């Protein structure tokens, strides 16, 4: 199911998708109550957040180190940022830097597909 978000998209697009997904999962504290009492859960959670942030750092600040994203990567990042700003404005979020609030709004969006 998730393989298409890795293989069927450009590298830079995949990086953005997974960075956003990592942030949303990180903000959702009740994601895995069953395993949240295990020490490795918190360690894995912390490592995934650090790795995601580092990949975005490379993507934006050091694109030459990631040759595939050197050109289009910054454009796609700006487009994604602009789309997020429009979404937040539509939802009445004035401070889009409020990650907890923004994540909560995104996670509350109904993504179910209605059958015809």
Give buried/exposed letters for 36-60 (b at 16+ CB in 10 A, else e).
Answer: eeeeeeeeebeeeeeebeebbebbe
In which residue are the tokens 């295990």 written? 38
Provide the percentage of residues in the chain whose pLDDT is more than 70.
79
Which pLDDT value is given to residue 5?
64
- Return the domain boundaries, the chain: 4-107
Q: Which residue ranges in the chain fall short of pLDDT 70?
A: 1-2, 5-6, 29-36, 67-71, 96, 114-116
- Measure the CA–CA gap between 71 and 49, rounded to whole angstroms: 25
Total-model pTM: 0.67
């Amino acid at each position: 199911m998730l393989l298409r978000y890795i293989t069927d998209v450009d590298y830079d697009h995949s990086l953005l998708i997974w960075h956003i997904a990592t942030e949303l999962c990180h903000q959702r504290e009740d994601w895995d109550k069953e395993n949240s009492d295990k020490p490795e859960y918190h360690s894995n959670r912390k490592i995934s957040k650090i790795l995601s942030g580092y990949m975005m750092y490379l993507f934006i600040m050091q694109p030459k180190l990631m040759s595939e994203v050197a050109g289009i990567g910054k454009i796609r990042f700006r487009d994604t940022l602009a789309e997020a700003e429009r979404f937040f404005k539509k939802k009445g979020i004035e401070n889009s830097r409020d990650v907890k609030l923004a994540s909560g709004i995104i996670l509350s969006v109904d993504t179910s597909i209605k059958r015809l």
